[in-house]
Amino acid sequence: MRKSSKPPFGAKTARGKPAPAAKGGRPAARPAGDVAFRRPSAELTIIFGYHAVREVLRAKKRKALDLFATPAAAEKLQPEIAASDVTTHVVAPEVLDARLGSDAVHQGVLLEARPLPALDIADIAINSGLVLALDQITDPHNVGAILRTAAAFAVDAVIVTERHAPEFSGILAKTASGGLEHVPLVEVVNLARALDQLGEAGFLRVGLDSEGPASLEDTVLSRPAVLLLGAEGKGLRRLTREKCDILARLDMPGAVKSLNVSNACAVALTLARRALAESS
């Protein structure tokens, strides 16, 4: 049972006892032997990185279980910790290094949480203006960057396939920098079938294709619309292309004629938002 009075920054040890304060008012870091992490499972998501963890605590769209933070990170996250019911463990940076690997840029904070609630195509088909669909993009850095961009452009949802998609935790969540908590994510078994459903719901299906017959900048768009992005190198799959109402390209006047898919996404969303504003 938790005590009614919280220690500084809401910090508790793995055994639920208040963390002793160090000089300067910060809670003292616990050694590795006093920290118990949960075992990996389908019901456990690991989020690390300051912005990613902060947005989980702020958005409150998923159940936050245990927060492991260095004294400095715990102090920085104090407002979010105070406003949540997460149990906080103040630990040394080496504890997080041991859990995540020395190469992980954890910024002194790791959160164990439940996965986000599952959504269905029907959940986004109403009142959506612009949706992204990712056709087997598997690199977590790219998908994380796309989610961050989607959150910045107020995209209504991102659709991914259950297979050939990265896990929505760890490095992807870190790269998304909180975007996971602000853009509804829909996993589908069959993307072509999902595109059929969106078409029946009145969505304009626009495939981004380097060989598209028209420039996206010159394409007339209407709401609701779904913008489809394919994996680097492969692009959109044949069946996905066939489900599109429009295939459009990004015109690039420079010597390099291709972009990383996450950069292409940012350019495409800029053009799509402008076209949709002009058509409204």
Of 6-20, 29-43, 172-186, 200-214, the range with the lowest mean pLDDT is: 6-20
Mean pLDDT of 92-110: 94
pLDDT at residue number 107: 97
Domain 8-113 has CATH 3.40.710.10: no
Q: Name which of 116, 88, 104, 91 is nearest 16 in CA terms.
A: 88
Evaluate if residue 8 carries a pLDDT over 60.
Answer: no
Evaluate if residue 171 carries a pLDDT over 70.
Answer: yes
Give tens-digit pLDDT for 143-163.
999 999 999 999 999 999 998
Look at the domain 121-279 and name its fold. Alpha/beta knot (3.40.1280)
SS3 content of the chain, % helix, strand, coil (to 5): 35, 20, 45
Q: Residue 75 is inside which H or E element, if any?
A: helix 71-76
* pLDDT grade for 128, boundaries at 50, 70 and 90: confident
pLDDT at residue number 74: 97
- Interacting residues of 58 by C-beta distance below 8 A, sequence separation 6+: 80, 181
* HSE-up (13 A, CA, CB side) for residue 181: 23
Every domain range in the chain assigned CATH 3.40.1280.10:
121-279
Evaluate if residue 102 carries a pLDDT over 50.
Answer: yes
Structure tokens at 164: 């050939």
Evaluate if residue 98 carries a pLDDT over 80.
Answer: yes
pLDDT at residue number 209: 94
Give tens-digit pLDDT for 201-255.
999 999 999 999 999 999 999 999 999 999 988 899 999 999 999 999 999 888 8
* pLDDT grade for 168, boundaries at 50, 70 and 90: very high
Burial of 139-163, coded b for 16+ CB within 10 Å and e otherwise, reads bbebbbbbbbbbbebebbbbbbbee
What sign for the dihedral angle of Cα 177, 178, 183, 188? Answer: positive
Every domain range in the chain assigned CATH 3.30.1330.30:
8-113
Angle at 178 between CA 172 and CA 183, to 5 degrees: 90
pLDDT at residue number 31: 54
